[in-house]
Amino acid sequence: MMKKPFMILTICSIFFSLVISGCTQAKTGEETAQVETIAEKSPAEEVITLSFWHTYSENSPENDTLVNTLIPIFEEEHPNIKVETLIVPWEDFRSKLYTSIAGGVAPDLARIDIIWVPEFAEMGALVALDENIEDFQTIADQVFSGPLSTNAWNGHYYGLPLDTNTKAWFYNKAMYEAADILPPTSFDEMLEQCEAIKAVYPDSYYFATDGTFAWVTLPWIWSFGGSITDDAITTATGYLNGPGTVAAYESLLQLYNNGCIAPVILGSGIDVFTGYAQDNYASLDNGPWTFSIIESQFPDKEVSVSAFPAGPGGSINVVGGEDVVLFEKSKNKEAALEFMRFLLSEEYQLKMAEVGQIPVLKDAVNSDYMQNHPYYTVFLEQLTTSKSRTSHPKWEQMDQIITDAGQLILRGEKSVQEALDEAAAEIDILLQE
């Protein structure tokens, strides 16, 4: 990875050249004063402190690796830069960023959800990196185009991809074997498989997921051939309420009404990971972090994963991950850019891969470690067909509308078509503002 020198290093070279010169000839009083003045500005005494916000939980392996392994490596290589991290719960992160930006105390850098980049870029909070990093194209060529594209807005790139992920079909092997079924390859199998599970586990559920927000419903929508809006993101009518999306929600509703989907989808019952471990739930649609969560909390439970089932539109799940962004209010942009380069190094990417973060660096993904990993290959294959959520500054509002529509449908308060018609009309208003 190329490194951009700091102005401070120029001062450092001047200092050392003066010291060497002084060994061969006597200094005048003026020269001595000059050396003393420069020595007072020695890089060893001028430490820049960067603030880096993220959402890793305090006791997580991700946070431990970041704070106790990787940041010390960076600081050793850059003795004039110190990195301080702040953990913010995911559910509070977006609002805290808004508050900090408004108050003029935004961090230098933050690891944020990929879907937030257009929103913060639109409000002028982020640095356009393609205009401020002279080797931006070199970095861009080293990462996958999909994760990189999540940073694009209005013709510029306002972040760099940091990690990526998608979801796949987790199945409770013990329950599947007892019911004599294999992981589903299509949605058409689900109802029959549900009946097989219930014949052995009458009080359990075939599938569990923790809400009706887009992260949950988009894989169903896309796999049934539906979508949220047109490709240009100008209208939702005819798409969110179109035939493919309607078919997806009708499938969910049928499974729910037949007792195949756990009530946690509407906010009641035990959480998806505990239910999986205790044989209450036979299947989950989730990401690679499921392995570490189950293994840490339920070490005796086997975790199995396969590709997401296919519908008329194919086997399509949702792309997740985080981008790293630099805030306009940062007073340490040069140092922050150097830390961003480190985050995109193969050393950083592979070390975080060991704790569940799928790299965005091509060379890292193609490494022996990744290719021989016991479960990453399933997710890497799923990523070839997965899609990103709608890249728009008003996505959070759109997602809330989608969430509410799903709740109305599953609670039986509105028909699928009625709920989606109303949701499409609401999103159209947002897109026209």
Confidence of residue 266 (pLDDT cuts 50, 70, 90): very high
Is pLDDT at 6 greater than 50 in this prediction? no
Give the type of residue at 222.
W
Q: Which of 13-27, 260-274, 393-407 has the lowest mean pLDDT?
A: 13-27
1 pLDDT more than 80 = no
Per the CB < 8 A criterion, the answer to whether 359 and 352 are in contact is: yes
pLDDT of residue 262 exceeding 90: yes
Average pLDDT over residues 213-242: 97
Classified by CATH at the fold level, domain 48-158+320-383 comes out as D-Maltodextrin-Binding Protein; domain 2 (3.40.190)
Residues of the chain above pLDDT 90, percent: 81
Q: Which of these ranges, 102-106, 124-128, 244-248, has the smallest mean pLDDT?
A: 102-106
Q: For residue 41, what pLDDT is reported?
A: 42
- pLDDT of residue 355 exceeding 90, the answer is no
Average pLDDT (318-335) is: 96
Report whether pLDDT(68) > 70: yes
The two three-digit tokens of residue 227, written as one number = 């979508």
Find the mean pLDDT for residues 401-429: 98
pLDDT value, residue 164: 94
For residue 282, the model assigns a pLDDT of 98
The answer to whether residue 17 scores a pLDDT higher than 90 is: no
Q: In sequence order, what are the residues at sequence separation of 6 or more whose Cβ sits closer than 8 angstroms to the Cβ of residue 420?
A: 240, 241, 245, 246, 249, 405
The arithmetic mean of pLDDT across residues 326-352, rounded, is: 96
Both structure tokens of 330: 């940062």
Give the type of residue at 75: E
Residue 37 has which token pair? Answer: 């003045």
Residue from 194, 169, 171 nearest 315 by CA: 169
Q: What is the CA radius of gyration of the chain?
A: 26
CA within 13 Å, CB half, 49:
5
Confidence grade of residue 24 (pLDDT, cut at 50, 70, 90): very low
Provide CATH 3.40.190.10 ranges for the chain. 48-158+320-383, 168-319+389-432
- pLDDT for the residue numbered 258: 98
Residue type, 275: G
Mean pLDDT (whole number) for 84-110: 95
Q: Which of 251, 244, 275, 280 is nearest to 186 (CA)?
A: 251
**Coil, strand or helix at 129:** helix
Averaged confidence pLDDT in the chain: 90
Residue 146's pLDDT is 85
Q: Kindly write down the DSSP assignment for every residue of 230-258, as one continuous string.
A: -TTSS--TTTTTSHHHHHHHHHHHHHHHT
The letter for the amino acid at 115 is: I
Tokens representing 62 are: 């991700």
Whole-angstrom Cα distance, residue 212 to residue 210? 7
pLDDT higher than 90, residue 10: no
- d(Cα 38, Cα 15) in Å, to the nearest integer? 6
Torsions phi, psi for 176 (to 5 deg): -65, -40
User: Can you read off the two tokens belonging to residue 355?
Assistant: 């704790």
In Å, what is the CA distance from 41 to each residue of 265, 330, 352? Answer: 59, 22, 36
Average pLDDT over residues 140-148: 91
pLDDT at 30: 43
Place of tokens 């922050």: 336
Exposure string for 102-122, b = 16+ CB within 10 A, e = fewer: eeeebbbbbbbbbbbbbbbbe
Q: What is the pLDDT of residue 44?
A: 53
393 near 383, Cβ under 8 Å?
no
* 342-350: average pLDDT: 96
Range of lowest pLDDT (163-172, 268-277, 379-388, 402-411):
379-388
Statement: 168-319+389-432 belongs to CATH 3.10.180.10: no
Residue 36 pLDDT more than 50?
Answer: no
Q: Which two tokens stand for residue 318?
A: 């949702």
pLDDT of residue 212: 98
